[in-house]
Chains A and B, each alone.
Chain A
Amino acid sequence: MFGRHSDLPLKGDATSRFLPWLVALMVYLSAVSLAGVFVLNGLVRSWDHDVSGTLTVQVQPVPGEAGEALTDERVRQAVELMRRTPGVLAARPLDKKQILALLEPWLGNTDVVKDLPLPRLIDVTVDPDISMELLELADRLARSVPGATLDDHRIWLSRLINLSRTTEWVAIAILVLIGCVTSATVIYATRTSMAVNRSVIEVLHLIGAHDDYIARQFADRSFALGFSGGLIGLALAVPSLTAIGWAARRIEGGFLPSLSLPVTGWVMIAMLPVIAAALAMLTARLAVHATLARMP
Chain B
Amino acid sequence: MRNNRRGEHIIRFDSVGLRYGLGPEVLRDISFALPSGSFHFLTGSSGAGKSSLMRLMYLGLRPTRGRVVLFDKDIAMTRRYELPALRRRIGVVFQDFRLLDHLSAMDNVALPLRVRGVKESEVRKHVPELLNWVGLSEQINAKPPTLSGGQKQRVAIARAVIGRPDLLLADEPTGNVDDHIAMRLLHLFEELNRLGTTVVIATHNQFLVDRFTQYPRLHIDRGTVVEGE
Contacts and interface: CB of A to CB of B under 8 A. Distances in A.
Interface string B47-81: 00000000000111110000000000000000011
B100 A7 contact: yes
B149 interface: no
A209 B115 contact: yes
A9 B116 contact: no
Interface string A198-230: 011011111111100100000000000000000
A209 B81 CA distance: 10
A285 to B, nearest CB: 16
A253 interface: no
A296 interface: yes
A207 B62 contact: no
Contacts of B87: 205-208
A5 B92 CA distance: 23
A9 B102 CA distance: 7
Contact of A203 (B59, B90, B98): B98
Contact of B85 (A200, A204, A205, A208): A208
Interface string B102-120: 1100010001101110000
B84 A209 contact: yes
A206 B60 contact: yes
Nearest to B75: A296
A293 interface: yes
Nearest to A10: B102
Given A206-B87, A208-B84, A296 B115 contact: no
Interface in B142-166: 159
A210 B86 CA distance: 11
Contact of B115 (A9, A202, A213, A293): A213
A293 B100 contact: no
A53 B98 CA distance: 76
Contacts of A205: 87
Nearest to B87: A208
B7 to A, nearest CB: 26
Interface residues of B, number: 25
Contacts of B80: 293
A7 B111 contact: yes
A208 B61 CA distance: 14
A163 B159 CA distance: 67
Interface string A31-59: 00000000000000000000000000000
Contact of A206 (B58, B81, B103, B114): B58
A7 B84 contact: no
Residue among A200, A203, A204 having the largest count of chain B Cβ atoms under 10 Å = A203
B78 to A, nearest CB: 11
B204 interface: no
Contact of B100 (A5, A200, A206, A208): A200
Contacts of A213: 115
A14 to B, nearest CB: 14
A204 B115 contact: yes
Given A7-B103, A200-B100, A206 B92 contact: yes
A213 B113 CA distance: 13
B28 interface: no
A5 B100 CA distance: 15
B19 interface: no
Contacts of A296: 59-62
A209 B60 CA distance: 13
Interface of A: 5, 7, 9, 199-200, 202-210, 213, 293, 296
Instruction: List the 9 closest pairs (A to B, CB-CB), nearest first.
Output: A208-B88, A208-B87, A9-B102, A209-B115, A208-B84, A210-B84, A203-B98, A207-B112, A296-B62
Given A207-B115, A208-B88, 15 more contacts: A5-B114, A9-B102, A203-B100, A204-B111, A204-B115, A206-B58, A206-B87, A207-B88, A207-B112, A208-B84, A208-B90, A208-B112, A209-B115, A213-B115, A293-B80
20 contacts: A5-B114, A7-B103, A7-B114, A9-B100, A199-B98, A202-B98, A203-B98, A204-B115, A205-B87, A206-B58, A206-B59, A207-B112, A207-B115, A208-B85, A208-B87, A210-B115, A293-B80, A296-B59, A296-B61, A296-B62
